[in-house]
Structure formats: structure tokens, C-alpha cells
Chain A
Amino acid sequence: MLTWRRLHVKASAVHGLLTSRLVTEQHTWVHGHLPLCQSLSTGTPVRNDFFKDLEAQFAAARQKAADAMPGSSWSPIEINPNLPPERADIVIVGGGVVGWSIAYWLKQKERVRGALKVVVLEKDPTYAQASTVLSAGGIRQQFSLPENIHLSLASADFMRNINDYLGVLDEEPIDLQFNHSGYLFLASEDVAHIMEENYSTQRDAGAKVSLLSPTQLKEKFPWINTDGVVLASYGLENEGWFDPWTLLNAFRRKAMSMGVVQCCGEVTDFKYSVNRAMTTEGKSLDIRRIKSVKVQMPNSLEYQPVECAIVVNAAGAFSSKLAQILRVGSGAKNTFEGISLPVEPRKRFVYVFHCPDGPGLDTPFLVDYSGVYFRREGLGGNYITGASPEEEKEPDPGNLEVDHEFFMEKIWPNLAHRIPAFEKLKVTSAWAGFYDYNTFDQNGIIGLHPLIPNMYFATGFSGHGLQHSPAVGRAVAELILDGNFQTLDLSRFDFRRLLNQEPMLERNIV
């Protein structure tokens, strides 16, 4: 009797708590056996969880049914969304300012919207070792080769109208923070004649440069010690420095708005087809045509082969590794195949220092004949300086560690000699970056490789890549799409000078 009442009480309690139909069925079982999954003696929270789970399970089952229907985006194979596309028309290896400039100009020049599929591959999205962001950001027209002067002038024109070219609707206008302070080159007696010849070349090419005697120099810039200076050349217009990161992002934003695909990955291999060709002398040459690029994902074993028609090597300091995969330079010496891409990374240091009594707002980008340069940074009495080391004492390009001894021994004495106010200064910070140094003649290599008919090179600028990037991008886009240079003739910068061993040296004093 008692047991019956106990069970009855339990049943009524259960009935009060449970509301669904299942529960009322359970209720009838009270007299018989207990349900298999739950025991009635457990507390209420477990019971609530069970039904919450049930609702979730119903929802999951509904979702699965919807996915199974056609029209849903579910697929049983899990695809990594960061992989580059399987096919592209043009693959640009290198996401620095030159690479993105080429991507922008290719999209700008395509005649039908969406005709070209361009992919830009950058192995390090943090740009920790990229030359673009670590550069001092100067632009000058004071070169000795007319092509370099024209490149700088065209790039300055581009930057003047940068919002017309790279402005994206509804986004903020681009502010390059361009300081129009000009470059000032100082010449000693033995190099003054080179400076005079360069001056006439620059004037003929349209650069606005003026020559100054030591007295005029002292009058214009009283803080310079004109000891040993015989001639100075000062740029009046289109010269100065700007923010390279802004330029890179402007190119990238505009190119991506026009449909360029950005991908983070490293090129580790190429698939190419080899054709044998005979020269007129009867030697046989291997012509390698790239069929696809193997892109390795960062920190992973995943890779994606990208079939492409054209590859552009804009990898900067790391271009020769790419060329070596294609066996450029693997033949015997004194043959076509034996000439490798002479671009290697060279480490250069930049030091930031503070000097309260230093020159003011009108400080130009001063380059001394000893190789030391400096420029103003901001308005708080901070300056940036650096110098090119001698050939024999090049620092090891394996890492980006800064050598402060270099500043103490090579830079500070020359700086203090030239500007007496800099005898008292304090180095606040320093960094190192790579030059994509062309060991052959320190000028860029732009054009096709004779043995690889679909690989274009745009590298080896040895410190001038940033200031020439808009014009070089346009030139390479013209080369690819129109077959020939249209606005600026840069045919003297192509591979032929390497094959003929005729260097195009800059006769600039630094």
C-alpha cells in the first residue's frame, strides 16, 4: 500500500514536471517497468538537458537535410579558402611595391573588364623583411642615366596625381606625406666634373636641378660645413621623401578593388616544358616554358599548383632563388645558359637619431661624397641616416640585425664633420633592410629572359625600386599587354646587357 502511494506520488510529481507527449507515455509505464534510458530517480536538470539536446539535434538534422538538397554550398571535401586559384593568367611573384604596381597597371590597361586574372603571391604578409617598407622613402631625379631620370619624373607625376590613379570611391583620399625638401648632393674636387655632366643630362631630361657653389651653399644652408665641397647639386622640384607603406597599400587597395587576387604563399617549384632550339652556330639551347607554379602555403605542407600563362618575378632581394629553380645560370660559363640572375640581397642599416640643435624644416635629403646620407624625420628634431658600406665589408645578409659599430665608426665622424651641430646627437632607434642589389651594374633588370619566354623580370633596382615603382609597373604592363614599351623606352634595361656583358653603370657619385 505504501509502495503504491509512493509510486503514485512519484508519478504525479513526474506528471507535473513533464509536458510533452512522450512523458505521458512514460507516465503509463510507471506501473510497469522503468524506461530504458532514464531512471525516474534522477533530478530535474538532467531531464531538461536531455530535451534541450533533443531540440538541438532536431535543428542539426534539419540543417543536414537542407545541405543535402541541391543549391547548398556544402561539400564533403574541406577546402582551404586561402589557397590561390587553380588557374590564372598572370602570376606576380612578390607582393612589394613593384609587384603591386605591376598588378595595378595590368588591370588598368586591360581593354575588357575582367579579361585578365592576376594573382599576386607574397610569402610574408607581415612584410617583416620586405625592402619596400624598410626603405628611407626618398625620390630624386639626380641620376646620370636618362632612363633613370625619366623613370623618376614619371613616378613623381604619378604621385602628384595619385588620387586620380589610385583613388577608390567612398574611401579616404591617399596622403603620401610627401615632403618636398629636395635632394642635395655634395661633390669633392675629383668628382665635380661628373656632377657637372650629370647636371646637363638631368636638365636635358627635364629635371629641375640647380648647381650651387660653396658660397651659395653656405648662404642657403648655413649649418653645412663646406670644407672640401667644390660643387653641390640641389633638386628644386619633384624630389623629397614620402611614406612607402602608404604607397604600397594604395596600390594594393586599388588593384584588389579592380579584381586582383592576393595570396599568401611561397613559390617552391615550377612545372615547365623544355624545347630544344639551335643557334646559328649550331649550339643547342633549352627553352623552358613555364606551365604552372607550385605555391606552398605558410607553415603547412599544403600546396597548390597554379596554371598560368605568364610569371612576373618581382621578388626583390629574393629573386635569384626563384630564377635558380628554373635553372637560370646552371649552364657552363661563357654560354647563354651560364648567366645567372645577378641579384642578391645586401643589408643596409638606417639609424634614427635625435639632435635638438639640428637643421630645421628646410633640411634636404643630403648625400655627401663620402657616401653618408641623412634626412629629417618629422618635426621633433629627429633625423634618419645611413651609408653604403665598402664592397669588401658588406654585412652578412643572413639576418636583419643592426650593427651599431658601423654608425660609430663610419657614419658619425663624417656626419659631424659635414654638419657641426651633429657632434651632439643620440641614436634613438635603428633598423636594417635589404637592397635587391644588382651585382652587375646596380640598375634594374626589366624584361623577358631569352631562354624563358614567359617569365618577366622586374628586379635588381639596388635601392631605387621604390622611387621608380609606378613607372616600372606601367612599363612592365605595356611589355606584357602591348608587347613593347609605349611611354618610356626601357629596352636598355633588359637581359641583353647581361648576355653581352655591357654594364649600364650609374655615374652618380654615391
Chain B
Amino acid sequence: MLLRWRSQQGQRRVQKKNAYYSYTQHFHGADIAAAFYVLSLKGGFRYVGQSDWFHTDKRGQFNWNFLNHKDTPLEEVDMSCSLISYSGLENLVGQQSLRTLSLQGCPEVDDWFLARLHVFQDSLEELDISHCPRITTGGLAALRNLKGLRRLDMSSLPGLSNPGLVIILLEEMLPQCQIIASGYDLSLSQEGIEERNEQHEQGHESDKSEKQAIY
């Protein structure tokens, strides 16, 4: 029961972080609310027409000057290694000028999140989803809605079972997009396959020892 409570606490923390910032939206407008959401999740962004970025540092502190730019949509958002999830995307849905989105290493980004990215289908040009552990092939199929995508970084996705084939199919599906996919062992030799199997087993063992350490 204690273990279940611990895991539920983790889920509740993620949900709280990704709540809908309706209060901020009501008082300051959707763009400021989106900016505040990005900063609260320890991300960074850049406004349209501005050249400097607003970032949150490791201690969670950021520059409140972003409030000065009212009604300016966001152009580039960097949410690497943040706890952004499907419900949190509600805060960013209205941003029709979003050109770059970086989700490198986000643990809560999964296939349903990718499917919801269709809201940015006209504007999004660069997407970085490398090192997200929960993405699988089914979610990558949903990226076909992003007509404007020019650069996709899908390196080192541990959830992909056939990375070589998936990369080729993605290149066919998004002909105008440059796909960067490093960190996969694409060799066809027997040794490569054996090494990959060993790494997989080692990964499983280290996961188990981590689990034991937490509980």
C-alpha cells in the first residue's frame, strides 16, 4: 500500500505541474500564461520578434521581464528534460506561431503527446524528441500531420524496436523534412545484434536495481 501511495504521489506531482493555468490566462492573456507555464516547468522560450531567450535556471528562478511583452506569441520553446505531459500541452495549444519545440529527454512525453502536436501543424518547423523513453512507432506515425516540419531529431529513442526501418519509413512519410537519428546501432552484422541484446539486458538489470534502491 505504501508503494502504491509513493507511485501515486509521483503521478500527482506531474499532474500538478501540468495543470491548466486558467487564472494566469484570465488576467494576463493566453501568451503570457503559456510563457509562465514554460518557465514554471524549468524550460525556456523566445518571443516572436525578440532575439533573447527567457530561461529558468536550476534553482527555478527566472527574469520577470517577460511580463512586459504583452500579446506576443511564442516562437521557440525549449522544454528539454522537463515534466511536460499531454495535459500540460493545453497551455500551449493556442500558440499558432510556434516554430521550434524541443522535448529532448522529457520522461512524460509519449505517443499521445505526439498525436496532439497536430495543433501546430501549420507552424512547427523544428521538433526535437530525442531521448524520450516513452515514444514508440505508433506515435511517430502521427507526425505526418505536421506539414511544415523541416527538421526532426529522433535520436536515441529507447522505445523503438526497429529503428533503421522506422527511420526509412519516416523519411518517406515526410519528404521535405531532414531527419536526424543518431545513437542507434544500425549495423546488420550478427555481432551488432548480440551487442544490442546484451545492452538491453544490462539496461533491464540496472532498471531493476534502481527500482530496488527507490523502494
A-B contact pairs, 23 of them (CB 8 A): A160-B86, A160-B112, A169-B3, A169-B7, A179-B137, A179-B138, A180-B112, A180-B138, A180-B141, A181-B138, A181-B141, A181-B142, A182-B142, A208-B118, A236-B115, A236-B118, A237-B115, A237-B116, A238-B115, A360-B173, A361-B166, A379-B162, A379-B165
Contacts of B112 in A (CB 8 A): 160, 178, 180
User: Does B144 interact with chain A (Cβ within 8 Å)?
Assistant: yes
Contacts of B170 in A (CB 8 A): 361
CB-based nearest B residue for A176: B138
**Pair B138/A379 contact, Cβ less than 8 Å:** no
CB-based nearest B residue for A179: B138
CB-based nearest A residue for B116: A237
User: Does B139 interact with chain A (Cβ within 8 Å)?
Assistant: yes
Contacts of A240 in B (CB 8 A): 115, 138, 141
Contacts of B142 in A (CB 8 A): 180-182
User: Does A177 interact with chain B (Cβ within 8 Å)?
Assistant: yes
Contact residues of B between 1 and 15, Cβ < 8 Å to A: 3-4, 7, 11
**Pair A362/B3 contact, Cβ less than 8 Å:** no
Say yes or no: A180-B139 contact (C-beta < 8 A), given A208-B118, A361-B170, A361-B172. yes
Question: Given known contacts A169-B3, A238-B115, what 9 new A-B pairs fall within 8 Å (CB)?
Answer: A160-B86, A180-B138, A182-B142, A237-B115, A237-B118, A360-B173, A361-B140, A361-B169, A379-B162
* Whole-angstrom CA separation of A240 from B118 in the bound complex: 15
CB-based nearest B residue for A168: B4
Contacts of B111 in A (CB 8 A): 178, 180
Q: How far is the CB of B169 from chain A (nearest CB, A)?
A: 4
**Pair B169/A178 contact, Cβ less than 8 Å:** no
Q: How far is the CB of A277 from chain B (nearest CB, A)?
A: 48
Contact residues of B between 90 and 144, Cβ < 8 Å to A: 111-112, 114-116, 118, 136-142, 144
A-B contact count (CB 8 A): 60
Partner of A360, one of B3, B114, B169: B169
Partner of A175, one of B136, B141, B165: B136
User: Does B145 interact with chain A (Cβ within 8 Å)?
Assistant: yes
Contact residues of B between 189 and 212, Cβ < 8 Å to A: none
* Whole-angstrom CA separation of A182 from B111 in the bound complex: 13
Say yes or no: A362-B116 contact (C-beta < 8 A), given A169-B3, A379-B165. no
Contacts of A286 in B (CB 8 A): none
* Whole-angstrom CA separation of A240 from B116 in the bound complex: 13
**Pair A179/B118 contact, Cβ less than 8 Å:** no
Contact residues of A between 90 and 110, Cβ < 8 Å to B: none
**Pair A169/B4 contact, Cβ less than 8 Å:** yes
CB-based nearest A residue for B3: A169
Interface size class of A (residues with CB under 8 A): 20 to 34
User: Does A489 interact with chain B (Cβ within 8 Å)?
Assistant: no
- Per-residue interface assignment for chain B, residues 153 to 189, with 1 indicating a CB less than 8 Å from any chain A CB and 0 otherwise: 0000000001001100110110000000000000000
- Per-residue interface assignment for chain A, residues 146 to 187, with 1 indicating a CB less than 8 Å from any chain B CB and 0 otherwise: 000000000000001000100001100001011111100000
Contacts of A160 in B (CB 8 A): 86, 112
Partner of B138, one of A164, A177, A238, A360: A177
CB-based nearest A residue for B4: A169
Say yes or no: A236-B137 contact (C-beta < 8 A), given A164-B11, A169-B3. no
Contacts of B137 in A (CB 8 A): 179, 361, 379
Contact residues of B between 33 and 82, Cβ < 8 Å to A: none
* Whole-angstrom CA separation of A101 from B140 in the bound complex: 29
Closest 6 CB pairs of A and B: A362-B144, A180-B142, A179-B138, A180-B115, A361-B169, A236-B118
Contact residues of A between 211 and 238, Cβ < 8 Å to B: 236-238
* Whole-angstrom CA separation of A182 from B142 in the bound complex: 8
- Per-residue interface assignment for chain A, residues 354 to 398, with 1 indicating a CB less than 8 Å from any chain B CB and 0 otherwise: 000000111000000000000000010000000000000000000
Q: How far is the CB of B139 from chain A (nearest CB, A)?
A: 6
**Pair B86/A177 contact, Cβ less than 8 Å:** no
Q: How far is the CB of B64 from chain A (nearest CB, A)?
A: 35
**Pair B115/A360 contact, Cβ less than 8 Å:** no
Contacts of A169 in B (CB 8 A): 3-4, 7
Name which of B112, B162, B165 has the most chain A CB atoms within 10 A of its CB.
B112
Say yes or no: A362-B173 contact (C-beta < 8 A), given A164-B11, A180-B142, A236-B145. yes
CB-based nearest B residue for A173: B134
